[in-house]
Structure 1
Amino acid sequence: MSSERDTDSDWNQLGEVDPFWAVITDERFRAEKMDKTTREAFYESGFGNIDQFHFALKHYFSAPDHFDACLDFGAGVGRLLVPMAKRANTAVGVDIAGSMRAVCQVRLDELGLSQVKLVATPKEAAEFGPFDWVNSFIVLQHIPPARGLALIADLIATVRPGGFLSLHVTTFRDAHLMSQDTAGSVRKLLRQVRASIVSAPQIGQISMFDYDLGEVLALLTRAGCPRFVLEHTDHGGHHGFMVYAQKVAG
């Protein structure tokens, strides 16, 4: 997708009309299908992810069982933020979409998690840091890399020396998911025809971007995270890596 698109606006619109489905694009989580049971299943799924990430940090870097302060970037409606908050004295959820933060705040209030703060950007989150654990999963893939790399730098800056990161980035995709500039001639032609027919931009579009893994790792290394572990991910042909790292203690 073009980096010209206003992805921040897209996510605010998605948060207004279909917040749970926008986080996990499973038809069960469409707004018109959501009930109490489905909503709880959605939130419960976040505990499995955080268990996995926390286990990896403990295995690779001897991370503790409990943290003083944690941050989840791209917190959305709180699917991962809630289980992170249960492992920390304080937690911060960062999401650019005010509509998503509003839904998340409802969940936090329901659970009585008053130690959790919600902000729009990593720079705002820094006021509550530094953090012992910074996490981001299936989020950066929706942000153009030029902006995403700057955001990663901001996130690393909030990590306490000796603290940990678990960051997910997409780096390549299967052929049938190739963007227009790398797709075959027939696929390019079909997309051009479709674009000429559909004149208005799709509202609340979910864009996907691939990052240069070398650039991400160089950024981590220069920012004080010279040792990291990579685990491959594959979400429907969108391939990437969970990057686990520890910031060098002062």
Structure 2
Amino acid sequence: MKKYNYSKQFWNLIAKENPYFGVLADESFKTKNLNEDKINEFYKSGEIFIDNLLNKNKLDKNITALDFGCGAGRLTFPLKKYFKNIYGYDISKHYIELCEEHSKKNSSSSKFIFFNNYKKLFEQKYDFINSYIVFQHIPEEEGYKIINDLLNILNSRGLIHLHIIFLRSKHWLNDIRLEGFFNTSGETINFYSLDKNSKIHKSMSMYTYDLNKIFFIINKYNKTEVKTVFENHSGNLGLRFLFNKDV
């Protein structure tokens, strides 16, 4: 059981300076542009996403859920409609603090538990695990191990929703370089700042995954049906996987 420390400093800085923009890279979600309506819009977009996902897919049990890489909780809090116990894990302590603060403002019969200690993932099993636009920021070899870990702690017949990117087009790298946010050399994307006054001058890596390895891992836990959805996020070509664990 390994504790992963990928880009912890970077994501703590993002969560501190521009937490909502760090999740949804839209200019209107930068801290300098935020107001109550924009924050409500941010979380409403998560409700729509989760409703579309779970209303179309049957859950055998709906007691415990995990949002892996929960960020500001955009996809975590909407799970209260479907689950009694909801866990949110993120590498950034500042994102965890933001989620805990937000949960105090939301009355619900569901219980929310947020943490940034990887080992705590293994203290219970889950009926549903979600991880969306997270693994693209995790080095591949670590990512494959984490996916195995997540499938191990998923209950039998539990539902899992994973997203990975498998290809980045060159025009995406050119577009973001022109916007002045990034410069790139090979696999590493150097992240300069979210705005002119940002203190962030760190590096963020975007990782593409080998689909053969992903399907090999999935096949160990599901040998019947796997739903896939193709996505193109501004030249980042990805797949969403949705399936129940067989064993």
Q: Fold-level match, TM-score > 0.5?
A: yes
| Offset of residue 206 of structure 1 | 4.2
Q: Which residue of 2 aligns with 1:157?
A: 152
**Equivalent runs, 1:28-47 vs 2, <5 Å:** 28-47=28-47
Residue 225 of structure 1: which of 210, 222, 225 is its match?
A: 222
Percent identity of the aligned residues?
A: 26
Q: Which residue of 1 aligns with 2:76?
A: 81
**2:84 partner SS:** strand
Residue 111 of structure 2: which of 91, 115, 121 is its match?
A: 115
Mapped to 1, the partners of 2:12 and 2:66 lie a distance apart of 20
| Offset of residue 86 of structure 1 | 2.5
Q: Which residue of 2 aligns with 1:135?
A: 130
| Offset of residue 216 of structure 1 | 1.1
Mapped to 1, the partners of 2:92 and 2:21 lie a distance apart of 15
Mapped to 2, the partners of 1:153 and 1:8 lie a distance apart of 21
**2:98 partner SS:** helix
Contact 1:122 1:155 (8 Å CA) reproduced:
no
Q: Report the AA paired with residue 219 of structure 2.
A: T
2:98 paired with 1:103: yes
Query: RMSD across aligned C-alpha pairs, in angstroms?
Result: 2.5
**1:21 partner SS:** coil
Structure 1 gaps of 5+ residues are 180-189
**2:100 partner SS:** helix
Q: Report the AA paired with residue 115 of structure 1.
A: K
Q: Report the AA paired with residue 157 of structure 1.
A: N
Q: Which residue of 2 aligns with 1:184?
A: none
Contact 1:13 1:203 (8 Å CA) reproduced:
no
TM-score under structure 2 normalisation? Answer: 0.82
Structure 2 gaps of 5+ residues are 175-183, 193-198
Deviation per CA, 1:57-95: give whole Å up to 9, x if none. Answer: x1xxx335x711000011011100001133101010010
Higher relative CO (CA 8 A, sep ≥ 6), structure 1 or 2? 1
**Equivalent runs, 1:131-210 vs 2, <5 Å:** 131-177=126-172, 203-210=201-208
Contact 2:63 2:83 (8 Å CA) reproduced:
yes
C-alpha distance 46-206 of structure 1, shift in aligned 2 (>3 A): farther
